[in-house]
Amino acid sequence: KAGVTQTPRYLIKTRGQQVTLSCSPISGHRSVSWYQQTPGQGLQFLFEYFSETQRNKGNFPGRFSGRQFSNSRSEMNVSTLELGDSALYLCASSLNRGQGDGYTFGSGTRLTVV
């Protein structure tokens, strides 16, 4: 079965712009989580969506938002980009929420803010 697909793979944006990243989970997976990976902060949880509702949110400013569609695909949006938003953004999907389900990660979108 196809894995977790993230688009685009690479993105270069200018400070102040906004960006939308997309994640298509494994078919049948209903939970989608987003993570930011940077050399300095490591892997940090952004948010999780299940059944089109945000279930958990990490400690990120309101410029970071997301949504999930009825087919479980998810998008995350970052507005008013800052240089510090440069990172690898990872999406992970799981069948359901909670114990017993593994998380499968996508290859990520590498965002560079200049």
Partner 1 sequence: AQSVSQHNHHVILSEAASLELGCNYSYGGTVNLFWYVQYPGQHLQLLLKYFSGDPLVKGIKGFEAEFIKSKFSFNLRKPSVQWSDTAEYFCAVNNNAGNMLTFGGGTRLMVKP
Catalog residues that contact partner 1 under the rule CB under 8 A: 31, 33, 35, 42-45, 48, 50, 55-56, 58, 90, 92, 94, 97-100, 102-108
**Among residues 81 and 91, whose Cβ is nearest to partner 1?**
91
Provide the minimum distance between the beta carbon of 3 and partner 1 in the complex, in angstroms, as a whole number.
8
- How far apart are alpha carbons 88 and 76 in whole angstroms? 13
Task: Tell me if 36 sits within 8 A of 108, measured CB to CB.
Answer: no
**Among residues 22 and 58, whose Cβ is nearest to partner 1?**
58
Provide the minimum distance between the beta carbon of 15 and partner 1 in the complex, in angstroms, as a whole number.
27
**Among residues 33 and 72, whose Cβ is nearest to partner 1?**
33
**Among residues 1 and 14, whose Cβ is nearest to partner 1?**
1
Provide the minimum distance between the beta carbon of 111 and partner 1 in the complex, in angstroms, as a whole number.
16
